[in-house]
Amino acid sequence: MTKRTPIIAGNWKMHNTLAESAALIKGLTENFENKQNAEIIVAPSYTSLAKVAELCKGTAIKVAAQDVHWEDKGAFTSAVSPVQAKDAGATHTIIGHSERRSVFGDTDEILNKKVAAALRHGLTVIFCVGETLAQREAGETLQVIEAQLKNGLKDFTAEQLNGLVIAYEPVWAIGTGKTATPEQAQEVHAAIRQYLATAYGNDFAQATRILYGGSVKDSNVDEIMAKEDVDGALVGGQSLIAEKFRRIINFN
């Protein structure tokens, strides 16, 4: 791992009531320890966003929205704008998660507009990329990742993207129990950093933190985080269990 400040982020997805969210934050913050001085982020569902943000005030935990719409307001039933997410206490937002791409049909063009909206309102973007199993088996992983980066971040300058976080999540490893080997993760992370260097300059690439996501567990986080270009983790299921998420935060 490099000198970039690691990020450990928990994506709670469509889980937790208000009471469950409060209990989870309490479990994370009691006798809090952060051995690696990591930046810690949780992404609750929208119904818990304001509550979690309030509970995290004065702690080391930051709060992210799981997604935002590209418009500030309007007739977009069920959508949440970056203005609303920020007002509820979010400082970050996840954009481009594979479930948004595959389940809800977010295209690169839509994601590009969402990135623009988030940046316009000062939200730090965690931009997700990743290949399907079929694409990996066809040897298309790096081409797919590059296309997602190129199209999703189209027309932005390095200055505009300052602070951007990339999350590499192989689709075949999300919620399946399968995990890319540390070597597979490092290969893709290094390729992402090389793409960023080509597109935005080496200084930008070296400063950008790239997270690995996809069945990250307390049992495999240490070896994943040991890789040079892995700057953190985007955690799913185990971020819902305080004891396990605390262990991931305190990786060795």
The catalytic residues are 97, 169
Angle at the Cα of 155 (from 170 to 102), degrees rounded to 5? 30
**Distance between CA atoms of 233 and 168, rounded to whole angstroms?**
9
Q: In the numeric block, which tokens belong to residue 68? A: 């935002």
Closest CA to 41 of 118, 95, 93, 119: 93
Longest dimension (CA), the chain: 48
**Distance between CA atoms of 236 and 241, rounded to whole angstroms?**
10
CB 82 within 8 A of CB 123: yes
In the chain, the amino acid numbered 182 is: P
Query: Any residues with CB less than 8 A from the CB of 117 and at least 6 apart, and which?
Result: 68, 69, 70, 71, 72, 81, 82
CB 167 within 8 A of CB 129: yes
